[in-house]
């Protein structure tokens, strides 16, 4: 007993191969995955033709359809020779075939694949594109469901089997995470049939055109700058080239430790862009921070420590493990507090599995955080177990108490301690007011910078020396700067 899988070609009867025609002609029965294919009416007479079209109407999704088809074919092939015919080539975008190969191997059923011309060859001919240019082939359903790695924008792609309007919309939204709305694309309809046509359009219009099961979307490479790459993988190659023997001497000399100040600097510049609410600056600073991340990963590769793929795989697994309400069946009913509580339970379970001792509430706060941000995080964590004042009035009283202790301090060491205590309590008070103290101080620093530089500019514009400017005049200019910013 054996199973023969035949490719029917893309739709033009003239593209059926001689081997496929002979296999169909000599078969007693032929199972068609679908009759909805232009070649089916022209198949050789003689065999009894069955199809699985009714399964598409009964099942909830393609996985159910494919499983049912495989089960029926394997059961039939266990007792008789079976011919199964699919559109195009059996090994191109045919979900049932890969399942059949695995199942027949498991049950020791002989299987033969007769290749055919797929829809890809006439699609590429219609587009004038060579597949050897790094062409990617992605199933539309997988791409829309985010079950497939994203398309690499440095290479062209075919998104195949764009069978319906809703799917086209989902695919469009997925692609618009990587490409500009107006990125030029093409819809190839009925490739390999007399009705083949190519429709050029911007990406945002993809779901505004008629599509069918014979429609393929072509996405050209992203050519915003021919000298630059647009993919993460391509950027990794750029950084690897910097550290290559014939690359940049400075980059080759860097270590994790030597790059530490630059990582901090780029992080703070990114925060500045966020505080300024400047999207253009944010775009630039995210790129500068990314340089640091990829540089550290490349140093690790060069030193034999780890690869970027391990970094991404580990953090991706962590995200999915800690979000069972997204990648699992945990119900948090939309509550952010429930999500945070569940997150903490998962982290504790992870530490236990790794044989790590249960850490204290404050142990996970980075020691290198800015002091005010660290104080705020310590306060938030202590509050989880009820370590907090009962009312805001009690916090204010504590602030006043700390101010009095500073005034009463007799030595520099005592004042040092009491100033620290005051700042810590101020951080707690800020939390009571719903304010992040680090953000508030950063904003205050920015206001101080703007107002003081206003004074500087006025003094400089008048050609005066600082010695000629009294304190009261400075205070007046300060108030003038405040009014100007308001």
- What is the residue range of 342's domain? 324-351
Residue 247 confidence (pLDDT) above 90: yes
Does some domain include residue 302?
A: yes
How far is Cα 136 from Cα 150, in angstroms, rounded to an integer?
Answer: 10
Structure-model confidence comparison of residues 31 and 351, the more confident one: 31
pLDDT at 397 (0 to 100): 96
Note whether 69 and 75 are within 8 A (CB).
Answer: no
pLDDT at 265 (0 to 100): 92
399-454 residue pLDDT tens: 999 999 999 999 999 999 999 999 999 999 999 999 999 989 988 998 999 999 99
**Same domain, yes or no, for 273 and 343?**
no
- In the chain, the number of structural domains is 6
Element of type H or E holding 261: helix 260-275
Does some domain include residue 185?
A: yes
How far CA 376 is from CA of 223, 267, 381, 391, 420, in Å, comes to 45, 19, 9, 18, 13
Question: 152: number of CA atoms within 13 Å, CB side?
Answer: 13
Does some domain include residue 356?
A: no
Q: How much is the pTM? A: 0.67
CA 429 to chain centre: 38
**Same domain, yes or no, for 81 and 172?**
no
Does some domain include residue 312?
A: no
Does some domain include residue 177?
A: yes
114 strand-pairing partners = 6
**Same domain, yes or no, for 85 and 138?**
no
CA 195 to chain centre: 38
Q: pLDDT band at residue 13, thresholds of 50, 70 and 90?
A: very high
């Amino acid at each position: 007993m054996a199973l023969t899988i035949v490719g029917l070609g893309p739709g033009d009867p003239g593209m059926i191969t001689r081997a496929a025609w002979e296999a169909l002609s000599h078969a007693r029965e032929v199972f068609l995955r679908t009759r909805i294919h232009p070649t089916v009416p022209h198949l050789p007479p003689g065999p009894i033709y069955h199809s699985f079209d009714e399964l598409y109407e009964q099942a909830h999704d393609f996985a159910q359809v494919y499983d049912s088809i495989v089960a029926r074919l394997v059961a039939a092939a266990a007792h008789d020779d079976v011919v199964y015919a699919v559109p195009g080539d059996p090994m191109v975008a045919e979900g049932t075939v890969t399942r059949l190969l695995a199942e027949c191997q498991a049950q020791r059923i002989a299987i033969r694949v007769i290749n055919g011309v797929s829809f890809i060859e006439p699609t590429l001919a219609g587009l004038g594109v060579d597949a050897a240019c790094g062409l990617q082939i992605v199933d539309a359903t997988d791409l829309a469901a985010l079950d497939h790695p994203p398309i690499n924008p440095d290479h062209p792609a075919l998104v195949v089997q764009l069978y319906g309007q809703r799917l086209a919309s989902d695919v469009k939204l997925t692609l618009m995470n990587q490409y500009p709305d107006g990125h030029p694309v093409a819809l190839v309809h009925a490739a390999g049939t007399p009705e083949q046509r190519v429709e050029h359009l911007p990406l945002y219009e993809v779901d505004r055109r008629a599509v069918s099961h014979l429609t393929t979307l072509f996405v050209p490479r992203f050519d915003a700058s021919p000298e630059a790459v647009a993919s993460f993988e391509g950027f990794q190659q750029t950084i690897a080239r910097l550290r290559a023997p014939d690359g940049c001497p400075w980059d080759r000399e860097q270590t994790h430790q030597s790059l530490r100040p630059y990582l901090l600097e780029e992080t703070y510049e990114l925060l500045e862009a966020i505080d300024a609410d400047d999207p253009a600056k944010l775009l630039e600073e995210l790129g500068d921070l990314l340089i640091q991340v990829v540089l550290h990963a490349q140093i690790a590769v060069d030193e034999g420590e780890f690869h970027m793929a391990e970094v991404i795989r580990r953090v991706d697994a962590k995200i999915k493990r800690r979000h069972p309400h997204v990648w699992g069946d945990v119900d948090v009913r939309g509550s952010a507090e429930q999500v945070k509580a569940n997150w903490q339970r998962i982290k504790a379970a992870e530490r236990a599995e790794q044989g790590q001792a249960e850490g204290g509430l404050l142990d996970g706060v980075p020691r290198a955080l800015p002091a005010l941000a660290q104080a705020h995080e310590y306060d938030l964590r202590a509050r989880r177990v009820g370590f907090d004042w009962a009312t805001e009035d009690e916090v204010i009283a504590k602030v006043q108490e700390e101010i009095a202790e500073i005034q009463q301090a007799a030595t520099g060491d005592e004042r040092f301690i009491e100033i620290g205590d005051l700042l810590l309590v101020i951080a707690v008070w800020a939390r009571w007011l719903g304010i992040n103290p680090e953000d508030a101080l950063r904003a205050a620093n920015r206001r101080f910078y703007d107002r003081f530089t206003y004074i500087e500019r006025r003094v400089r514009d008048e050609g005066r020396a600082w010695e000629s400017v009294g304190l009261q005049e400075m205070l007046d200019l300060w108030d003038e700067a405040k009014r100007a910013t308001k």
